[in-house]
Amino acid sequence: MAFLIGVIILILFVVFCYIFIKIKVKKALNSHGISSLKEAFEKAQLEDEELPKSLSSMDSIYLEKIKEDFPDININELKRMSEKIILDSLNAIEKKTSQNIKNAKIKAFVDSKIEDLKGSTISYDSIKFHKTVVSKYENYNGIATIYFGSSLEYFYQKDNSIKKKVQDRFKLEFIYIIDSSKVAADKKILGLNCPNCGSPIRSLRNRNCEYCGTKVIDLVKRVWTCNNIVRY
């Protein structure tokens, strides 16, 4: 008898908790003008599709310093270059080939995404950039680095699934070799490529391209190049 009473009390306690939580959730939803959990999920999904990914813009902090170090720099040109790299990467992933990408770091990024597809077909349609900003700037040990953040949207489809709107963002790293004498001889700058044959420049120790012999050390002293790309 005592056992049965205990079970009944437990059931009543569970029912009470369920009703209490349900009332609390309903009040919370109503305070935001939402009538049900289904509506809440639908609203969250809509916001996820329509609201651009947030970016931490540091333009106001770093642009003046960048201009001091590089008076002739065109930061907007670098931003557009950053966006083009993202576009080229998405197009290459969609086509499942990186053969037209010369930059070794971008090629590695694209190849890894293609590998993740495991034979699936995808498409990126109506790609639109919301904003590209400077998120960080560093200048030491003979190398200057600018980090750009980009937010964008596109319509994504995988195989025969329903096409859906996606908000996305990328971070790209651009480097500039200010003084190669301060950079360790064995430091790999995988984002640099020979201007003649496109082969990767694997080390600053090599003053000439190891494949075609073209002199490349002057190139790494004066050209901004993308050294990394990540989604975040």
pLDDT digit string, tens, across residues 29-55: 576 666 665 555 555 455 566 899 999
Query: What is the C-alpha separation between 81 and 60, in angstroms, rounded?
Result: 20
Question: Are 41 and 80 in a shared domain?
Answer: no
Question: Are 69 and 30 in a shared domain?
Answer: no
Q: What phi, psi does 109 have (nearest 5°)?
A: -60, -50
Amino acid, single-letter form, for residue 10: L
Question: Are 37 and 73 in a shared domain?
Answer: no
Question: Are 93 and 9 in a shared domain?
Answer: no
What pLDDT is stored for residue 63 in this prediction? 95
Question: Are 120 and 178 in a shared domain?
Answer: yes
Instruction: Please give the radius of gyration of the chain, using alpha carbons only, rounded to the nearest integer.
Output: 26
Question: Are 131 and 202 in a shared domain?
Answer: yes
* Residue 22: pLDDT band with limits 50, 70, 90: confident
| Structural domain total, the chain | 2
Question: Are 90 and 202 in a shared domain?
Answer: yes
What pLDDT is stored for residue 58 in this prediction? 95
Residue 8 CB coordination number (10 Å): 10
What pLDDT is stored for residue 202 in this prediction? 63
Question: Are 73 and 187 in a shared domain?
Answer: yes
What pLDDT is stored for residue 203 in this prediction? 61
**Residue 154: partners with Cβ closer than 8 Å, 6 or more residues away:** 90, 124, 125, 126, 127, 128, 165, 166, 168
What pLDDT is stored for residue 199 in this prediction? 76
Query: What is the C-alpha separation between 206 and 179, in angstroms, rounded?
Result: 15
Query: What is the C-alpha separation between 222 and 53, in angstroms, rounded?
Result: 33
Least confident of 7-16, 129-138, 180-189: 180-189
* Residue 94: pLDDT band with limits 50, 70, 90: very high
What share of the chain has pLDDT > 90, as a percent?
51
Is the pLDDT at 109 greater than 50? The verdict is: yes
Closest CA to 188 of 173, 205, 172: 205
The arithmetic mean of pLDDT across residues 56-71, rounded, is 93
The arithmetic mean of pLDDT across residues 80-108, rounded, is 94
The arithmetic mean of pLDDT across residues 22-30, rounded, is 70
Least confident of 39-53, 94-108, 123-137, 170-184: 39-53
Among all chains, which residue has been given the structure tokens 């002199």? 215
Assign 3-state DSSP to the chain and report helix, strand, coil percentages, each to 5.
45, 25, 30
Closest CA to 132 of 81, 184, 174: 81
**Residue 80: partners with Cβ closer than 8 Å, 6 or more residues away:** 132
Q: Which domain holds residue 18?
A: 2-47
**Sign of the CA dihedral with 216 first, then 189, 113, and 231 last:** negative
Question: Are 74 and 40 in a shared domain?
Answer: no
Instruction: Enter the tokens of residue 164.
Output: 């859906």
Is the pLDDT at 90 greater than 50? The verdict is: yes
pTM above 0.85, yes or no: no
Question: Are 85 and 35 in a shared domain?
Answer: no
The arithmetic mean of pLDDT across residues 56-83, rounded, is 94
**Residue 107: partners with Cβ closer than 8 Å, 6 or more residues away:** 98, 101
Amino acid, single-letter form, for residue 126: S
Distances (CA, A) of 26 to 21, 29, 34, 131, 165: 8, 5, 8, 37, 29
What pLDDT is stored for residue 219 in this prediction? 47
pLDDT tens-digit readout, 172-213: 999 987 766 666 555 545 456 676 777 776 665 566 778 888
Question: Are 83 and 135 in a shared domain?
Answer: yes
Question: Are 42 and 134 in a shared domain?
Answer: no
What share of the chain has pLDDT > 70, as a percent?
75
* Residue 27: pLDDT band with limits 50, 70, 90: confident
